[in-house]
Amino acid sequence: MVEMDAISVIRAKRDGHALTEAHIDWIIDAYTRGEVADEQMSALAMAVYLNGMDRAEIARWTAAMIASGERMDFGSLPRATADKHSTGGVGDKITLPLAPLVAACGAAVPQLSGRGLGHTGGTLDKLESIPGWRASLSNEEMLDVLRDVGSVICAAGDGLAPADKRLYALRDVTGTVESIPLIASSIMSKKIAEGTGSLVLDVKAGSGAFMKNLDDARELAATMVELGTDHGVRTVALLTDMSTPLGRTAGNALEVRESVEVLAGGGPADVVELTVALAREMLDGAGLGDADPAKALADGRAMDVWRRMIAAQGGDPDAPLPRAREQHVITAPSSGVLTRLDAYAVGLCAWRLGAGRARKEDPVQAGAGVELHARPGDRVLAGAPLMTLHTDTPETFSYAEAALAGAYEVGPSEAFEPSPLILDRIAPSA
C-alpha cells in the first residue's frame, strides 16, 4: 500500500496539480474516519476552491464520498425509479406536487429532501407543517411506502455519504461553499448513493438562487450531468429562473396550501408549468415518456397519491394547516404594473418572519411567511394589497419589511419585460 499523508495531498492541489485517484480515495476515507483533522480538510477545500478540479477528479471525489457510506438499492421495486433535485430558491415548493404526480404516472419516486437554511426554504420543513407527518423513515419504511404508494419524501439517513455530511458543515464555515466541484460532488454523491435509476436536476439562476448568474448555473448543471453520466445514472438538468419567487407564497404551511391547490387542478401558472416540465423529464428518464402528467394533474390521480403518501408517513391530509397569529399587509405605492419583485428579498423577509433558520438546529414557524397578491406583469392599484406578511411574532414585522426596501417596482406596462421560466436544458454530451 502506498504511504499517504494529508500535507502531501494539500500541497499537490495548492500547487495546481490534479489529485490522483489514490490521493482522493485516501483523503476522503481518512477524513471520514477522523484521521485527517478539520483544519487539514479546510486547507484542501480552499485549495480546491482556488484551483478547481478536472472532470476525472470530480468523478473520483464523488465516488469516494459515495463509498464512505451505504448505497441504497431499489431493484426490488416493480417500477422504474426517478428522482429530482433542486438547487433551492424562494417559493420552490415543486417537490410537493411533483413526487405524487410522477408516481401517479407509473414511476417510483424516492425523494430524499432537506431542511431550509437562510433565505431558501426546505421541503421537510414545509411538510412538517402537516399535523402528524414525519420526515425520518428507516430504509425499510421508505421501501414499504414506495411499494404501496409509489412516492416518498423523507430525510436522508446518516449512513448516506457521511463524508459529505462532514465536509458540507466544514465548507459552510470556511468560505468554500461556492466551489462548483465541491457543490456538484456534494449533491451528486447523495443522489447517486440514493440508488435512483434516473435523475432530473432543477438548477436555478437569479437573485434568490445559490448561483446568481446563468453562466455559473450552467457550469454547475453541466458538471452534475457529467457526474451522473459517469456513475451510470441517466441525468438531465433544467436551468430555471429564480429572479422572482415561484408561485404566490414563501413559507412552510403557506406553500403546502398552494401545492394542494396545484394538485387540485389550480394553483399559480408558473408552479404548474415547472411541475409538469420536470415530471415529463422524470418520466422520460424512467422509460415512461408516453405518460401525460398534465392529464394526471387535472383528473385527480396526483391528488390521490398525495393523500396516500401523506397518510403513509403519519400525516393527516385533511387536517387544517397552521396559520400565523398575526398578519401585516403591504400595499402598492402607486397604480400601474408590477415590473419587478426580487426573489432574494422576499426570501429574506420570510426568514425574518420566522419561516427559516440561521442554524440547522433552529426551529421554524409553520405559519410564517409571505403571501404575494401580485406577480411581475400584474396590474396593481395604489393602496391595494401587494403582499401579506404572516408571523406569530409581530415584533418582527418592521425588521422583515425592511428586507423589501427597493425589492419591487410599479411602473408603466411597457417597462415590464417578461422572461421565460425555463432558461435551458442540459443533457449528457454525446
CATH number of the domain enclosing 27: 1.20.970.10
What CATH number corresponds to the domain at position 355?
3.90.1170.30
Q: What's the grid cell of residue 283?
A: 418520466
The confidence score (pLDDT) of residue 201 equals: 98
Flag whether pLDDT at 2 surpasses 60.
no
Domain boundary among 318, 337, 352: 318
- Is residue 117 predicted with pLDDT exceeding 70? no
Is 113 an annotated catalytic residue? no
Overall number of domains in the chain: 3
pLDDT in tens, 332-371: 999 999 999 999 999 999 999 999 887 767 789 999 999 9
Q: How far apart are CA 237 and CA 425, in angstroms?
A: 6
Contact, 51 vs 13, CB < 8 A? yes
Question: ∠35-39-45 over CA atoms, to 5°?
Answer: 100
Residue 226 lies in a domain: yes
Candidates 13, 60, 84, 85; catalytic one: 85
Q: pTM of the predicted model, to two decimals?
A: 0.94
| Rounded mean pLDDT, 99-116 | 94
Q: How confident is the model at residue 136 (pLDDT cuts 50, 70, 90)?
A: very high
Residue 356: domain span: 326-415
Domain membership of residue 420 (yes or no) is no
The CATH code of the domain that includes 205 is 3.40.1030.10
Cell output for 241: 429562473
- Concerning whether 171 is annotated as a catalytic residue, the answer is yes
pLDDT of residue 430: 62
Known active-site residue 172: no
Q: Is residue 176 a contact partner of residue 197, using CB atoms and an 8 Å limit?
A: no
- Same domain, residue pair 150 and 199: yes
Give the rounded percent of residues in the chain with a pLDDT score beyond 90. 87
Residue 63 resides in a domain:
no
Would residue 340 show up in a list of annotated catalytic residues for this protein? Answer: no
**pLDDT of the residue at 125:** 93
Q: Which of 92, 164, 202, 230 is catalytic?
A: 164
Q: CA triplet 77, 83, 89: central angle to 5 degrees?
A: 155
* Amino acid (1-letter code) at residue 138: S
Task: Determine the 3-state secondary structure of 227 from DSSP.
Answer: helix
Check 171, 204, 248, 301 and give the catalytic one: 171
pLDDT at position 334 is: 97
Indicate which residue of 84, 115, 190, 390 is catalytic. 190
Three-state DSSP class for residue 156: coil
Give the pLDDT mean for 129-158: 95
Is 73 part of a structural domain of the chain? no
Q: What are phi and psi of 237, to 5 degrees?
A: -135, 140
Q: Is residue 384 part of a domain?
A: yes
How are strands ordered across the β-sheet holding 198-205? 82-86, 198-205, 234-241, 422-426
- 328 pairs with which residues across the strands? 389
pLDDT confidence bin for 233, thresholds 50/70/90: very high
Distance CA 29, CA 39 (A): 16
pLDDT tens digits, 191-231: 999 999 999 999 999 999 989 999 999 999 999 999 999 89
Nine-digit cell at 422?
425555463
pLDDT of residue 142: 95
Quick check: helix, strand or coil at residue 81?
strand
Residue 106 burial by Cβ neighbours in a 10 Å radius (0-12, 13-18, 19+): middle
C-alpha cell at 74: 431499489
**Across residues 37-54, what is the average pLDDT?**
96
Check if 325 is active-site. no
* Separation CA 30–CA 24 (nearest Å): 10
pLDDT single digits (tens) 368-378: 999 999 999 99
pLDDT at 1 over 50: no
The pLDDT assigned to 250 comes to: 97
Of 186, 198, 243, 259, catalytic: 186
Residue 122, all three cell numbers: 426546505
Note whether 284 and 247 are same-domain residues.
yes
Question: pLDDT, tens digit, for every residue of 253-269?
Answer: 999 999 999 999 999 99
Cell output for 336? 400601474
pLDDT of the residue at 228 = 95
Indicate whether 237 and 362 sit together in one domain.
no
One domain for residues 312 and 332: no
Q: Residue 429: what pLDDT?
A: 83
Instruction: Tell me: pLDDT of 420 over 50.
Output: yes
In the predicted model, what is the mean pLDDT of residues 95-119? Answer: 92
414 C-beta neighbours (distance < 10 Å), count: 8
Q: How confident is the model at residue 172 (pLDDT cuts 50, 70, 90)?
A: confident
Lowest mean pLDDT among 2-6, 68-72, 281-285, 295-299: 2-6
* Residue 223 shares a structural domain with residue 145: yes
Q: Are residues 174 and 307 in the same domain?
A: yes
Q: Which helix (H) or strand (E) holds 422?
A: strand 422-426
